Structure 1
Amino acid sequence: MDRWSLDRAGITDHTLRESYEFCRRMLISVDGRTYWAASCCAPPAVRPHLWAAYAFGRHADQLVDGGDRPGRAEEFERWAEHLTAALEDGDGSSSGGTGDPITRALTHTVHSRGIRVEDLMAYVDGLRMDLSPAHYPTFAELRPYLRAVGGAPARILLRVFEDPSPAAEQAMTRLGEAAQFTDIVCDIAEDLRMGRLYLPLEDLERFGLTRDDLAAEDSSAAVRELLRFEVSRARELWEEGLDVLDLVHPASRAAWQAGAALLRAPLDRVERRGNQAVGAKVWTTAPRTAAILVRSLLHPPVGAAVAVRP
């Protein structure tokens, strides 16, 4: 248990501490130590709330991606109803204190860090889109999905750190969109196996490709060109979103820089591997992860001072 961070966050209730610890262990067990290490770049008082926000997002994502389609939708809706009731109760439970650890920790984070419930619900609504086969004719039609599934959780994380300005929230939304689109570019094969295709259909038409071409075992040179185009678009989104580094409190910049660097790093591997990147999950290697974290800690970005919430 990370008692130091829990103490600094002022979390003294035993059950609540156990709930946050559950979220921390989930972060480590599901995604390895990469995101946990990135969270260590944040001030200690903030870390438990990052664990709760992560566990909320990861659990919701697992509900959408697991099980058969009818059962998955029903389970997701039951969870969404439970979450709504818990947030209304304000104690992490819809039945007098018997809530699950993730919801209990999240509810405490929502009320102690000023998280807007509408941002939580925007994320839930975005994931609900994944319960049906995903197809987006144009990038403009994909953008609302990116704002919901990427932008909303990015705003949640921002409020975990501080009371943001409207400009910071706008930039953070763009950063979240960039992260979500990067995930789409790196997970094409996995999404296809689940009946989803997030790349805009107009992009496939531009390079003379079909869905079957992406799913083919031997990809063509046109697929390489498509991936190069999508990587370029993702990088443009990152450039727009990284303006947030000048708008957040200096104490949190290292964490944001580390998180952004880790999330966009797979684009380099997609570029290097070309059409081979369609057939396999693109990971950031452990040495690359370590280098990113060290660089973020030793060389945090410099920006204007912004008031931080204790």
Structure 2
Amino acid sequence: MNFDDYCQKKAAPEGSGTYYALRRAPTARQPLLSALYALRRELEETVKETSDPTIGRTKHAWWQNELGKLDAGEPTHPVTKALLAHAPSAAQPVLEDAGRALIDGFGMDLDQARYLDWPGLRRYLEQTGGAFGTAVARATARDPAQAASWAPPLGSALLLAERVQEIGDDARHGRIYVPIDELQRFGVTAADIINRKYSDSFTELMRFQTERARRALEDALAAIPPAERSSQRVLRSQAALSLALLDEIEREGFQVLHQRIALTPIRKLWITWRTR
């Protein structure tokens, strides 16, 4: 398997939302974007699927070292080989900076599995989602240098929506991305979420979380400069998919603790096709 096939399989298996979103990108940029999404997936798995913190930190350190090899032009992993092959030389320092920010962001998951309040969770979203959103935006932007002025909130909003959508799965991996003070405000405990306990209080908590994610996505989409809207079909497609999924979760009564609610592949195709 060559590194492009590896990245495609890792980042965007057929039928996934990312698969359809990436198809909205210019053909010439799809391999680079696939590599970026594959890097994100690798880092997410390093944290999420490693129960032993020592092993997680070892893997995290390995990725930090691998970015150094990318900087030296001698990467060893299929993902970093793809980044070297497909990123313009002028963009390499920017991608490496984004990669380091992304690694540092996911590294926060190794230090804490809960957040005391919204400002604390927001810092995590900005560090992780904001860095990734900026890297994706720069890959196709008409003016890559300006992407940092509008892309971070969109990346943060996409990650926030993802955490709302996957609250049950995250809890099964020992992580709860709902601020502790908000759990207390709505009368929901961490044990309720871990034990998949539904209640009126949980419904109201999820309604609040969903609405915040929806507002964040809509505000971030509105902030994309008009001149960049056509260049940002990938991020806009992902935002449209997230908004549709949030609506679906609400229609299903926020029953997300015991199952992963998803859109059908044909609906994903239709939503991303409409993103023009």
TM-score with structure 2 setting the length = 0.89
Where does the alignment leave 5 or more consecutive residues of structure 1 unmatched?
Answer: 2-17, 94-98, 301-310
Q: Deviations over 1:200-235 (max 9, x none)?
A: 111111112211222344411010000000111111
2:79 maps to amino acid: I
TM-aligned CA deviation for residue 140 of structure 1: 0.9
Question: What SS does the aligned partner of 1:197 have?
Answer: coil
Q: 2:240 maps to which residue?
A: 261
Where does the alignment leave 5 or more consecutive residues of structure 2 unmatched?
Answer: none
1:250–1:175 Cα change, 3 Å: closer
- Which of 37, 40, 46 is the equivalent residue of 2:23? 40
- Which of 155, 161, 166 is the equivalent residue of 1:182? 161
1:221–1:285 Cα change, 3 Å: same
Q: 1:107 maps to which residue?
A: 84
Measure the CA separation in 2 of the matches of 1:256 and 1:67.
28
Q: Is the 8 A contact 2:20 2:268 kept in 1?
A: no
Question: What SS does the aligned partner of 2:108 have?
Answer: helix
Question: What SS does the aligned partner of 1:46 have?
Answer: helix
Q: 1:151 maps to which residue?
A: 130
Measure the CA separation in 1 of the matches of 2:50 and 2:232.
38
TM-score with structure 1 setting the length = 0.80
Q: Is the 8 A contact 2:39 2:79 kept in 1?
A: yes
1:25–1:113 Cα change, 3 Å: farther
Q: 1:198 maps to which residue?
A: 177
TM-aligned CA deviation for residue 111 of structure 1: 4.5
Q: 1:12 maps to which residue?
A: none
Aligned-residue Cα RMSD (Å) equals 2.2
Pairing of 1:111-130 with structure 2 (within 5 A): 111-112=88-89, 114-115=91-92, 116=94, 117-130=96-109
* Runs of 4 or more consecutive aligned structure 1 residues displaced over 6 Å after TM superposition: none
Question: What SS does the aligned partner of 2:210 have?
Answer: helix
1:289 maps to amino acid: K
TM-aligned CA deviation for residue 255 of structure 1: 3.2
Larger Rg: 1
Q: Is the 8 A contact 2:138 2:145 kept in 1?
A: no
Measure the CA separation in 2 of the matches of 1:267 and 1:111.
36
More RCO (CA 8 Å, sep 6+)? 2
1:250–1:226 Cα change, 3 Å: closer
1:48–1:248 Cα change, 3 Å: farther
Question: What SS does the aligned partner of 2:231 have?
Answer: helix
1:152–1:247 Cα change, 3 Å: farther
TM-aligned CA deviation for residue 250 of structure 1: 5.2
Q: 1:279 maps to which residue?
A: 258
- Which of 143, 155, 164 is the equivalent residue of 2:144? 164
Q: 2:40 maps to which residue?
A: 57
